[in-house]
Chains A and B, each alone.
Chain A
Amino acid sequence: MILLELFITFFKIGLFTFGGGYAMVPLINAEVLEKGWMTGEQLVNFIAVSESTPGPFAVNISTYIGMETGGILGALCATLGVILPSFIVILAVARFIDAFRKSTLMEGVFTGIKPGAVGLLFAAVISVGLTTLFPDGINGDVFTSPLFLITLITFILMVILSFKKLHPILMIVLSGIIGIAAGHIFDIPV
């Protein structure tokens, strides 16, 4: 049953994500792509949409995937799933906050999870990078195709601009304009 599956999947995603924003990308990438609810390309497109609409990324993505796979009830189940672990854990922790923060167990958990999350996010960069740069897989002449070269140049430009602290929404707008212009100039088939 799709509604239950959406709820359980997003409950798992909410439970195993620590930190905000892109920390959730590795889990979404693994769970949602594996289930075939979204392609890698759709996921990256939606990250851009989420960055340009209000609200937490977690709610945006769970609502969208829920809506696409199970309609409004799907959206409800997915979003409820992603929120519930937070809600339960915070209510439990808020009462015993000092004990929680001073416990050796929690200290240990975070000693392991923090660097682990860094490794996971770099793995997500590779996975997203492959779908973005090589949407049709890697073959002989892909490195000279206009699509690959435009994507690579835009990516390098945006990395530089992001370190110049350009606002993420402006980065998205700018790379969108580059995409439209380059697409027409080189008449890239889409």
Chain B
Amino acid sequence: MEHKKNDSENHIYLSLFLTFFMIGAFTFGGGYAMIPVIQREIVDKKGWLKKDDLLEMLAVSESTPGPIAINSATFVGYRIGGIGGAFFSTLGVVLPAFVIISLLSFVLDAFSHIKEVKYAFMGIRAGVLALILKAALSMFLQCKKDIFSLFIMVSAFILVAVFSISPVFIILGCALLGIIFTLLMKRRIKK
């Protein structure tokens, strides 16, 4: 997208910063919860992007490393205002969480010794376990279930859960096997 220099450029930076600051301040749970808010603010209200761009943003955010929220903010910011736009959008989306958690970390430490708080977290940990299990199940349902995918899933699970291999190595290994598998499949189709 073309953008004019100087005043209008500063204006777009400020506007991007404020918009993503709002998005960061009012979405809970991050990631996918942020997508409808980005659509409302960036597509519907500001008209900075089309709905197709949003789908593209989601596809890119999912297929690059890093949290979806950060990827989306950087991508939208870059599209609208170049590298400066990317910087201010990302800063905007990060700042509310950074400030809130920095302040909260003092409070959390002060309260964590109270009996009621300990009891509450005893229950909450069970709730969080349920949330993570649900996330894992819905990821499983969305994933392909051919022999190769299931093999990778089970191997990754066993290597980490039983043999405590670092997830970093698992991700690298999965990427490598994925490349080999895809190349082999393409070659077979060509034949």
Contacts and interface: CB of A to CB of B under 8 A. Distances in A.
Contact of B115 (A18, A64, A190): A190
B105 A116 contact: no
Interface of A: 12, 14-27, 30-31, 41, 44-45, 47-60, 63-64, 67-68, 72, 75, 79, 82-83, 85-87, 89-91, 93-94, 97, 100-101, 104-129, 132, 147, 150-152, 154-155, 158-159, 161-163, 168-169, 171-172, 174-180, 182-184, 188, 190
B121 A45 contact: yes
A97 B56 contact: yes
Which has the most chain A C-beta neighbours within 10 Å: B78, B116, B156?
B156
A53 B100 contact: yes
Given A89-B65, A112-B175, A123-B160, 19 more contacts: A21-B31, A53-B100, A55-B100, A64-B101, A75-B101, A89-B66, A90-B60, A90-B66, A101-B59, A112-B174, A115-B150, A116-B153, A122-B161, A150-B122, A154-B127, A179-B120, A179-B122, A179-B124, A183-B122
Q: Interface size bucket, B side?
A: 35 or more
A83 B73 CA distance: 11
Contacts of B124: 45, 48, 172, 175-176, 179
Given A68-B105, A115-B144, A154-B126, A120 B74 contact: no
Interface stretch (B4-12, B42-50, B131-139): B131-139
A155 B152 CA distance: 28
Interface string B174-185: 111111111100
19 contacts: A21-B29, A22-B132, A41-B125, A51-B128, A54-B26, A59-B69, A75-B98, A90-B86, A101-B63, A109-B179, A111-B149, A112-B175, A118-B156, A119-B153, A150-B122, A168-B28, A177-B123, A180-B123, A188-B122
